[in-house]
Every structure is written in structure tokens, then in C-alpha cells.
Amino acid sequence: MSINKRPLSPHLQVYRPQLTSVLSILHRITGFGLAAGVLLALWWFCAIIRGPASYEIFYAFSKNIVGQGLLLCWLFALAYHSLNGVRHLFWDAGYGLELNTAYKSGWAVFFGAVIITALLWITWWQV
Amino acid sequence: MTEENSKNMAVQHWWMQRVTSIALVPLCLYLVYRSRHFLPLPLDYNSLILIIADPFVAMAMILTAVITCYHACLGVEVIIEDYVHGGLRHFLLLLNKSFFLLAGLGASAAVIYIANVLYKGMIE
């Protein structure tokens, strides 16, 4: 497959970001982030299987600032990707495709994800 | 590949994305609900094994692991197809499928191991 080295006309530099386009790329980014989180889940299972000593190491990682930051980002990614995924499923069924409905559902999904992340973090998932 | 086969594959992809998404909604809700017992991570190793050995948690974890890995494989596949065009393309596509196949099988095996061997070792 030959690589096309001819120049592209500017797109990302000129198009104004819309809610629809930003939420769409955020859906892809959060999806990729969640997939990367599978690696950490695998480490978690390995740590449990190898015994209490390995689990201690994982536990310490989960308690320090890097582990907590990753967990918080992953939690937001889960909340946002799930809610936006439901929005996509409604679109697939044919509902909510008008522009003003898409904007309302978009804001609802984004703030819903923020609220769910905050609630879960404060009640169950934090240190 | 014939044109009809490539169209069928595309439709299959589209449907599997939707079917796995719908299946993941209740599974994720259930696991997030049960996570109140094991997040934040308990210091006590044995309490964690007890929670994973619960049959509903174990089943939900295995189903979620397998379906998530399939869903993630489909998702990362389209990302690679969109952004990678050079020599790495075929390698990354193979790596993607291999990784998620192993991850899904490995996570399921891990849950079964924890819920059986480690649990039995613990209650003796």
C-alpha cells in the first residue's frame, strides 16, 4: 500500500470545534483509554494470583497519586463512554438525530458523566 | 474477498459493536454496584478473594472480561484502520486481535482460578 505524501487542505486548524465533533472524538479517546485500562486490570489479577506479597505492591500503587489519578481518569472514561454509547444506540434506532436534540443529549451526557464520576469517587472509589 | 463477503463482514462488525455494547450496559452497572465492596482496594487480601469467589461477581467478571475484550478489539481495530497507513498497519491489527484474545482468556482464567483454587486454599 503506497503512502500518499501529497499535502492535505487544512481541516483541524480551521474548523471550529462543535459540541458534536468534540464529544465524538472524546468517545473515541475514552474508548481507547478504557481499552488501555484492561492492561491494569490484568496486572491486578496477576497480583492477586501471585499472592499477598505481589498484591501489596499493587495495593501501594493504587494508593499513590499516580494510581489514584489513573483510576479517576478511567472512571470518568467509563461513565462518559457508557452514556455516550447509549446516545449512539438511540441514534442507531433513529431517535434524536435532529441538531437541537443532539446538542441537548450531548450536554446531558457530558454533565451526567461528570456527576456520576464525582458521586462514585466520593462515595465508593476514593482512598 | 468478494464484494458481497466484504459487505457482510462490515455489517457483522456493525452489529457486533451494537450487541456487545447493549450486553455490557447491565454487566457494567452490576459490577460498578458490587464494586462498593472491593473499591477502594481492601488491604485485606482474603476479603478480596471472598468477594471475587461470590458466584454472581465471578460470573459477571468473566462475562464482562470476554465481552469487553471483544468490544475493545473492535474499537481499537477501527482506530488503527483510521490512523495507521504505513508498514506497521498489518502488524498492529494482528497485535490488537492477539492482545485482546489473550486478555479475555487470561482474565477469565484468572477469575476462575481465584474463585476456586485460591478460595479453597483460603477456607482450609
Contacts of A124 in chain B (CB under 8 A): 35-36, 39-40
Q: Select from B11, B22, B41 the residue whose CB has the most chain A CBs within 10 Å, as the one to mutate to test that interface.
A: B41
Show pLDDT as tens, one digit a residue, over chain A (127 residues): 556 778 889 888 899 999 999 999 999 999 999 999 999 999 999 999 998 899 999 999 988 899 999 999 999 999 999 999 999 999 999 999 999 999 999 999 999 999 999 999 988 776 4
Q: Which residue in B70, B59, B58 sits closest to B19, CA to CA?
A: B70
A89/B43 touch (CB, cutoff 8 Å), yes or no: no
A45/B76 touch (CB, cutoff 8 Å), yes or no: no
Quote the pLDDT of residue A2. Answer: 58
| Percent over 70 (pLDDT), chain B | 100
CA A60 to chain CA centroid, nearest Å:
24
φ and ψ of B121, to 5 deg = -65, -30
Chain B residues with CB within 8 Å of chain A CB: 18, 21-22, 24-25, 28, 32, 35-36, 39-41, 43, 45, 48-49, 52, 68-69, 72, 75-76, 79, 85-86, 89, 100, 103, 106-107, 110-111, 113-114, 118
Average pLDDT, chain B: 92
d(CA A48, nearest CA chain B) in Å = 8
pLDDT at B9 over 50: yes
- In angstroms, the Cα distances linking A19 to A10, A34, A102, B67, B119 are 20, 22, 9, 30, 49
Residue spans of beta strands (DSSP E) within A1-92: none
B43/A32 touch (CB, cutoff 8 Å), yes or no: no
CA distance A93 to A9: 35
Alpha helices in chain B (DSSP H): 3-38, 45-53, 55-83, 88-113, 119-123
Quote the pLDDT of residue B117. Answer: 87
d(CA B7, nearest CA chain A) in Å = 18
Quote the pLDDT of residue B3. Answer: 82
Considering only the beta carbons, identify the residue of A35, A42, A49 that sits closest to B76: A35
d(CA A42, nearest CA chain B) in Å = 7
For B45-103, what is each residue's pLDDT tens digit?
888 999 999 999 999 999 999 999 999 999 999 999 999 988 899 999 999 999 999 99
Q: Select from A24, A38, A72, A122 the residue whose CB has the most chain B CBs within 10 Å, as the one to mutate to test that interface.
A: A38
Label residue B77 exposed, middle or buried (CB < 10 Å: 0-12, 13-18, 19+).
middle
Phi and psi based region of residue B41 (left: phi greater than 0; alpha: psi -120 to 50; beta: remaining): beta
- A to B CB pairs, distance under 8 Å: 78
